């Protein structure tokens, strides 16, 4: 575990010039997670409106929720695009740095190293491409999804405890023991 953690921190340090992109991408991730919880709340509110007997009230409330869903959908589109764009910039720049370091390390080897079958130019090129892309997906894609889901968890648990604390407590206990 310590070996994987130290390599993660080395990658994070290599990515330090893009900290502003990572910050903006993180903001997009957190807002996207928050909007997912808000979508669920609005849709449940829409379903509860349909149980009302007053037809005029139902139409007025559904119209209000339709505009609210259009606004939330527009915000989700903007922040989801922001999240993926900025985290992709971070990941691509990290991929470039990792490929440059790997290529520099390969080029420092002696000529006899290249004569071995496992060190053919096609295999080296494939390793450069695959390993660097795995690093990009580990940093850019996974961190953005982890942040988005963490924000969703915090907002959903907070809303659950505010709205129905007993049911939220039961769900938390079930969630923790599964």
Q: What is the pLDDT of residues 8-36, one digit of tens each?
A: 777 778 888 888 999 999 999 999 999 99
Q: Is 162 helix (H, G, I), strand (E, B) or coil?
A: helix
- Residue 171 above 60 pLDDT? yes
Neighbours of 164 (CB within 10 A): 12
Helix axes 142-163, 19-49, angle to 10 degrees: 40
What SS3 state is found at 15? coil
Query: 99 or 29: whose pLDDT is higher?
Result: 29
* pTM as predicted: 0.79
Q: How far apart are CA 131 and CA 137, in angstroms?
A: 10
Q: Helix crossing, 19-49 with 55-107: angle to 10°?
A: 160
118 vs 75, residue with greater confidence: 75
Phi-psi region for residue 110, left (φ > 0), alpha (ψ -120 to 50) or beta?
A: beta
Task: Copy the structure tokens of residue 128.
Answer: 């450069």
pLDDT at 160 over 50: yes
- Rounded distance between C-alpha atoms, residue 166 and residue 163, angstroms: 9
Of 103-112, 117-126, 127-136, 143-152, minimum mean pLDDT range: 127-136
Is the pLDDT at 44 greater than 50? The verdict is yes
Q: Which two tokens stand for residue 27?
A: 């903001």
37 vs 30: CA distance, rounded Å: 11
Please check the confidence at residue 166 and state whether its pLDDT lies above 80: yes
pLDDT for 72: 94
Q: What is the mean pLDDT of the chain?
A: 87
pLDDT at 6 (0 to 100): 62
């Amino acid at each position: 575990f310590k070996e994987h953690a130290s390599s993660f921190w080395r990658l994070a340090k290599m990515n330090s010039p893009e900290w502003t992109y990572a910050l903006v991408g993180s903001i997009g991730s957190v807002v996207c997670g928050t909007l997912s919880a808000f979508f669920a709340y609005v849709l449940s509110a829409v379903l509860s409106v349909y149980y009302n007997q007053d037809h005029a009230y139902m139409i007025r409330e559904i119209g209000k929720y339709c505009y609210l869903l259009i606004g939330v959908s527009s915000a989700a589109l903007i922040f989801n695009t922001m999240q993926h764009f900025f985290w992709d910039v971070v990941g691509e720049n990290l991929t470039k740095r990792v490929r440059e370091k790997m290529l520099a390390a390969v080029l420092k080897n002696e000529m006899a190293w290249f004569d071995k079958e496992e060190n053919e130019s096609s295999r080296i090129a494939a390793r450069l491409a695959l390993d660097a892309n795995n690093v990009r997906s580990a940093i850019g894609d996974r961190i953005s999804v982890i942040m988005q889901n963490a924000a969703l968890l915090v907002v959903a648990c907070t809303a659950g405890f505010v709205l129905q604390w007993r049911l939220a407590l039961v769900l938390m206990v079930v969630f923790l023991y599964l």
